[in-house]
Amino acid sequence: MHQVLFIIFGLICVGGAVNLLVQRHPINSALSLVVVMGALSLIYLLLGAEFVAAVQIIVYAGAVMVLFVFVIMLLNAGAEERTRGSHVALWVGGPGVAILAGMIVYLMFRNDQHFNPVRIGNFVQQPDNTHSVANSLFTKFLLPFEITSVLILIAIMGAVVLARRES
Amino acid sequence: MTAFIIAAVVKILVVVFLMLTGVAYMTWLERKVVGHIQNRWGPTRVGPFGLLQPLADGIKFILKEDMIPDAVHKGLYILAPALALTMSLISIAVIPFGENITVNGTTTPLQITGVAQPGGHPTDINIGLLIILGVTSIGVYGVALAGWSSNSKYALLGSLRASAQMISYELALGLSLVGVLILAGSFSLRHIVDTQAGSWFWFIPRWYIFPQLIGFFIYLMAAFAETNRIPFDLPEAETELVAGYHTEYSSMKFAMFFMAEYVNMITVGCLATLLFFGGWHGPLFGPPLLQSLLPVFWFSVKIFFFMFLYIWIRGTLPRFRYDQLMAFGWKVLLPLAIANIVVTSLIVALKA
């Protein structure tokens, strides 16, 4: 059951990602990305990471992609033109993808015995992994967490300054 | 296993039926109450007190011609109302409305996704609240895509307003709930309700509205904006935009947007009840049968109060201007919500 669900959502995920590239209209591409996000969050759920799954939906599908769609609607972007694609991308990208996939598969097989199986429905139990995420985020990784937040804040302020520059 | 599946299917059917009936009679109540506020009678012709009006409306919606304008983006145009209604209906799956119920020896919790435990106390998904927030945020696509795919200026303006407004108020909405989460220490809706059992000094119920009064009002205002209701109904402002994002829709597709809006209102009422008003807790008395039904009754009464509040405010307040709406969301509600979190967590930390 677990494996069947994983294959289904994995296929949806890959299908959405391919559709994202194939579609010519930006809004269709953005919606395929939403599908990818949704399928990813379900895969997180299968991994027993229910908090990450919910946050994936709320932050990426619910906020970031809504902004994308909003901007596409606001600018009224039309269909893209198709180009032949560059040779560099073909000759470097193809082998690159193959090497990356090979490395991931190799690492997975090498660390096979370290993975713990999870059961669907583990997340009904009360001592949950939301607490463990919070504990590690606010004790062990407090400094990196805060620094990242400040970095994002600076980026937002930079964007506002650039956008509001007056002549 | 079979008993579990049968119980689950029965619960889903009953809850969806009750929800849709509630939506239908919500429209009746709204027309009646707003009518009386404005010194009119509201619907009176169909059935006693116009009680069959929702049925007549439903038949009218189904029998009307379903027009699809020529220049629309057809796939998304059809997808949008379905998305809006589906997402609004999914969120009731995680809402608990009582403790266990026992029928023919099968004990099942009064919640679609609840799990009965041998000890008697049921458990539910420990991210229930996050699921509701996530599903409502996906519901924005219904509104946004409706306006865009209609290929009409009014509809596009309406959905642009709707998506900007919903993104802005979602922040304040989420932050206003953090105070309650800090006090309860869990995302599980059942757990949050359980921590509100009992009372302070024997007469004040332990509802989170008392320690979280500011959080409650922020939630209420942000939720009104999320559901596009007066005084935040800019996306469908009929004086400016004809009907906003659903201008080009007719027949059942139009009705689906309305149903989605009303289901969302009921969800907001449920969430406010669960988080701030102690859920199904209330005085219990009488014979055992009455005692087992009273929690559901209290829960419905509290939701009814919020539904009435929606209508009352609609009959009372005028609409905001768009810049006022944005300024209110970003400059008043958001800082207040953050201040509320800081003060709440400080007090919790000092008491610990």
Question: Among partner residues A57, A63, A70, which is closest to B144 by beta-carbon distance?
Answer: A70
Judge: B144–A55 Cβ closer than 8 Å, yes or no: no
pLDDT at A90: 79
Query: What pLDDT, on a 0 to 100 scale, did the predictor assign at position A98?
Result: 92
Q: Which among B42, B28, B71 is positioned nearest to B258, based on CA atoms?
A: B28
Selected residue with higher pLDDT from A123 and B237: B237
Nearest Cα neighbor of B233 from B171, B177, B169, B145 is: B169
A69 to chain B: which residues are within 8 Å by CB?
Answer: 141, 144-145, 148, 163
Instruction: State pTM to two decimals.
Output: 0.85
At B17-34, the pLDDT tens digits run: 988 888 988 989 998 898
pLDDT of residue A54: 87
- Predicted ipTM? 0.78
Whether the ω angle into residue B43 lies within 30 degrees of 0, i.e. cis, is: no
**Which residue on chain A is closest to B142 by alpha carbon?**
A66
Of the pLDDT bands very low, low, confident and very high (cuts 50, 70, 90), residue A125 is low
Distance to chain B for A58, nearest Cα, Å: 4
Q: Which residues have CB under 8 Å from B89's CB, separation 6+?
A: B16, B19, B263
What pLDDT is stored for residue A117 in this prediction? 65
Q: Tell me which long-range contacts B234-239 makes (C-beta under 8 A, separation of at least 24).
A: B234/B161, B234/B162, B234/B165, B234/B319, B234/B320, B234/B322, B234/B325, B235/B143, B235/B158, B235/B159, B235/B161, B235/B162, B235/B165, B236/B158, B237/B158, B237/B319
A73–B137: do the CB atoms touch at under 8 Å? no
Chain A contact set for B156 (CB, 8 A): 73
Task: Report the candidate in A55, A124, A130 with the shortest Cα–Cα distance to residue B111.
Answer: A124
Number of neighbours of residue B278 by Cβ within 10 angstroms: 25
Confidence band, pLDDT 50/70/90 cuts, at residue A127 = low
Q: Which of A1, A35, A69, A72 to mutate to test the interface with B (most CBs of B within 10 A)?
A: A69
pLDDT confidence tier of residue A123, bands split at 50, 70 and 90: low
Residue A120 has pLDDT above 70, yes or no: no
Using 50 as the pLDDT threshold, list the residues of chain B that sit under it.
none
Q: Does A133 touch chain B (CB under 8 A)?
A: no
How close A92 comes to chain B (CA, Å)?
Answer: 37
* A62 shares contact with chain B (CB less than 8 Å): yes
The pLDDT value given to residue B211: 84
Instruction: Find which of A34, A64, A65, A73 to mutate to test the B interface (most B CBs within 10 Å of its CB).
Output: A73
Q: Is A29 an interface residue toward B (CB < 8 Å)?
A: no
| Mean pLDDT across chain A | 83
Average pLDDT over residues A37-47: 86
Q: What percent of chain A has pLDDT over 90?
A: 15
Sequence ranges of the domains in chain B? 67-351
Please give the pLDDT value at position A128.
Answer: 67
Query: A19 — contact with chain B (CB < 8 Å)?
Result: no
Chain B CA closest to residue A62: B137
pLDDT digits (tens, 9 = 90+) for A90-118: 788 888 989 999 999 998 888 777 776 66
Choice between A161 and B103, residue whose per-residue pLDDT is larger: A161
Residues of B whose CB is below 8 A from A67? 167
